[in-house]
């Protein structure tokens, strides 16, 4: 069972692992890296299941889930950093809801 590795994803991960995140784009790129890694592990888990390899299936499923959680966390940080919670917004009046 082989896994394709994307040179772009590896470069992004290598660039961001040793550096602090400085921009919202960095969080988006890292989220994409984690989601791509999760997809690869899901495919590897599916292949392991097809082959009847329960140990590899469980290992890849765990790694996929871990990458998914990290991806969601990075995506949430990017969203929270892009929208200031202090931004004023209009509270709808009762007339607007009818």
Report pLDDT digits (tens) over 23-77: 999 999 999 999 999 999 999 999 999 999 999 999 999 999 999 999 999 999 9
- Is the whole-model pTM more than 0.85? no
CB 24 within 8 A of CB 75: no
pLDDT band at 81 (very low <50, low <70, confident <90, very high): confident
pLDDT band at 20 (very low <50, low <70, confident <90, very high): confident
Average pLDDT over residues 2-22: 55
| Average pLDDT value for residue range 13-31 | 76
CA distances from 26 to 9, 64, 94 (A): 13, 21, 41
**How many angstroms separate the CA atoms of 80 and 72, rounded?**
12
Report the C-alpha gap between 87 and 45 in whole angstroms: 44
Residues in CB range of 92: below 8 A, 6 or more apart: none
């Amino acid at each position: 069972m082989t896994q394709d590795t994307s040179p772009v994803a590896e470069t992004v991960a290598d660039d961001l692992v040793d550096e602090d995140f400085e921009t919202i784009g960095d969080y988006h790129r890292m989220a994409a890296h984690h989601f791509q890694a999760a997809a690869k592990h899901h495919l590897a888990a599916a292949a392991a299941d097809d082959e009847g390899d329960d140990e590899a299936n469980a290992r890849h499923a765990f790694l996929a889930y871990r990458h998914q959680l990290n991806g969601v966390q990075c995506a949430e940080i990017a969203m929270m950093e892009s929208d200031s919670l202090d931004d004023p917004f209009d509270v709808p009046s009762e007339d607007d809801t009818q």
